[in-house]
């Protein structure tokens, strides 16, 4: 970490690292209320009750209710993946911690005859795409796990994880290729009939990186075809809906960032796509990002043109994206400015952690490791170690070029 790093960032990194380790990288999740043993009578197949329970848990259920209902703390591949990247960015001192995260990720993977996979450790009912059972394969957390494995192999020449990477990609190739009237896509769940665009593109980005490492042209073809369906969903203003369901025509900042970041990776790593077509789409997406989400006061909107809620996760994803892309202030601000503004509003100095959200100027201090604390840990680590980030990405790009 460089001497010019603001002191408050170093203090936050240390505090969050201590918090996450104190919880052994496990904790409550906004959507984990269905895990209560006292609510086990609500069957996983009952979509509406499960959906209502999940929404209540994420938006209203206080911390004490989770304790009362004996909701257990859970492991999550996103926690391990975000912590892995934070430790790698922070430098050699944290190398053992990064290696521990990869080991935990591999241990967390569920085995199948077709390979391995990861999922969220709770039953997840959706408004659009049915219900996914607890632990069942889920594309977004798995994509983060795949990115971590790919980074460890590429930037740190750690080839012991090639087999796990290959097994996981084989599973997702076999079980998450989906198709609907709009075209081919990678399903958020193995049974998906709705194309959730940010999930599809994250998966395509992970496929493109993994396929390049393994020299698997067929996997590149799968990624290129699936990504093309979501690419076609971007309108002339740069808006892309959350999914292609009739009621999915909305977006928010961090999902929009997922789309931009994923398309950049696919454009760079997949030789089967037309880079000019991708650049045109990225130009439109960037315009929409600037006009819909960025404000002149170093704050970012959660929904287009709507600031509330203030959500550290939203700021963390945006700041990380800026650092990964050189943080050149092309959007009129910087990762440091965004996080500094957020910190002034959302850091709880008493509990030494970030508020989950601030809604209508009212702080929500529930502790969710996956959603809030580990994402801020990653974003702050990236800002503090921007040179390490770029050095690792240079090595990564060199291998994939």
When pLDDT is averaged across residues 219-243 and rounded to a whole number, the result is: 98
Say how far apart CA 341 and CA 352 lie, in whole Å.
Answer: 17
- Give the residue-averaged pLDDT of 351-361: 95
pLDDT at 127: 87
Does residue 101 fall inside a structural domain?
A: yes
Residue 41, C-beta contacts closer than 8 angstroms, at least 6 positions apart: none
Please determine, for residue 1, whether its predicted confidence score (pLDDT) is greater than 50.
no
On the question of pLDDT at 204 being above 70, the answer is yes
The predicted pLDDT at position 329 comes to 65
The pTM assigned to this predicted structure is 0.95
183's enclosing H/E stretch is strand 183-186
Kindly report which listed range (53-67, 159-173, 329-343) carries the lowest average pLDDT score.
Answer: 329-343
The model's confidence at residue 332, banded by pLDDT at 50, 70 and 90, is confident
Q: State residue 396's pLDDT score.
A: 66
What mean pLDDT, rounded, does the chain reach? 94
* 1 domain-assigned: no
* Predicted local distance difference test score (pLDDT) of residue 397: 67
Residues 273-323 pLDDT 10s: 999 999 999 999 999 999 999 998 989 999 999 999 999 999 999 999 999
Contact 207, 186 (CB under 8 A): yes
Whether residue 181 lies inside any domain: the answer is yes
Number of domains the chain contains: 1
User: 49 near 95, Cβ under 8 Å?
Assistant: no
According to the model, what pLDDT value does residue 4 have?
79
pLDDT interval class at 328 (50, 70, 90): low
Task: Calculate mean pLDDT across residues 223-227.
Answer: 98
Asked whether the beta carbons of 256 and 241 are under 8 A apart, the reply is no
- In a domain, residue 104? The reply is yes
Residues 164-174 have a mean pLDDT of 98
Structure confidence at residue 2 (pLDDT): 43
Tell whether 175 is covered by a domain: yes
Q: What is the pLDDT of residue 331?
A: 73
Q: Is residue 162 part of a domain?
A: yes
Q: Domain range for residue 279?
A: 7-400
Q: How far is CA 136 from CA 43, 50, 93, 111, 112, in A?
A: 15, 15, 35, 11, 11
Domain holding 345: CATH number? 1.50.10.10
- Whether the per-residue pLDDT at 61 is higher than 80: the answer is yes
Stretch among 51-60, 69-78, 211-220, 236-245 having the lowest mean pLDDT: 51-60
Q: pLDDT value at position 325?
A: 87
């Amino acid at each position: 970490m460089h001497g010019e790093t603001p002191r408050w960032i170093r203090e936050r990194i240390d505090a969050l690292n201590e918090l996450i380790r104190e919880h052994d990288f496990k904790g409550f999740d906004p959507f984990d209320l269905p895990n209560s043993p006292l609510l086990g009578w609500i069957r996983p197949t009952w979509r509406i009750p499960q959906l209502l329970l999940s929404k209540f848990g994420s938006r209203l259920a206080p911390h004490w209710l989770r304790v009362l209902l004996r909701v257990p703390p859970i492991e999550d591949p996103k926690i391990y993946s975000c912590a892995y990247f934070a430790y790698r960015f922070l430098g050699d001192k944290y190398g053992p911690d990064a290696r521990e995260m990869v080991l935990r990720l591999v241990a967390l993977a569920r085995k199948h005859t077709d390979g391995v996979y990861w999922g969220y450790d709770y039953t997840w009912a959706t408004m659009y795409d049915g219900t996914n059972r607890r632990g069942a394969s889920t594309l977004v957390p798995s994509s983060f796990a795949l990115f971590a494995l790919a980074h460890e192999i590429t930037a740190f020449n750690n080839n012991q994880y090639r087999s796990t990477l290959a097994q996981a990609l084989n599973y997702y190739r076999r079980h998450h290729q989906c198709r609907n009237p709009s075209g081919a896509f990678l399903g958020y769940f193995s049974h998906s009939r709705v194309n959730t665009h940010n999930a599809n593109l994250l998966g395509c980005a992970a496929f493109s990186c993994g396929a390049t490492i393994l020299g698997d042209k067929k996997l590149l073809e799968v990624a290129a075809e699936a990504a093309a369906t979501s690419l076609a969903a971007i309108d002339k203003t740069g808006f892309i809906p959350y999914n292609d369901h009739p009621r999915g025509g909305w977006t928010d900042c961090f999902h929009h960032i997922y789309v931009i970041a994923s398309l950049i990776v696919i454009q760079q790593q997949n030789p089967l796509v037309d880079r000019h077509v991708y650049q045109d789409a990225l130009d439109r997406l960037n315009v929409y990002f600037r006009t819909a989400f960025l404000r002149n006061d170093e704050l970012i909107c959660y929904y287009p043109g709507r600031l509330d809620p203030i959500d550290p996760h939203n700021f963390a994803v945006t700041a990380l994206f800026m650092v990964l892309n050189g943080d050149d202030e092309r959007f009129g601000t910087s990762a440091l400015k965004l996080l500094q503004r957020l910190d002034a509003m959302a850091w709880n100095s008493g509990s030494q952690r970030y508020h989950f959200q601030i809604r209508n100027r009212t702080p929500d201090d529930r502790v969710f490791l996956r959603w809030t604390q580990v994402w801020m840990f990653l974003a702050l680590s990236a800002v503090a170690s921007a040179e390490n980030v770029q050095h690792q990405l240079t090595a990564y790009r060199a291998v994939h070029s």
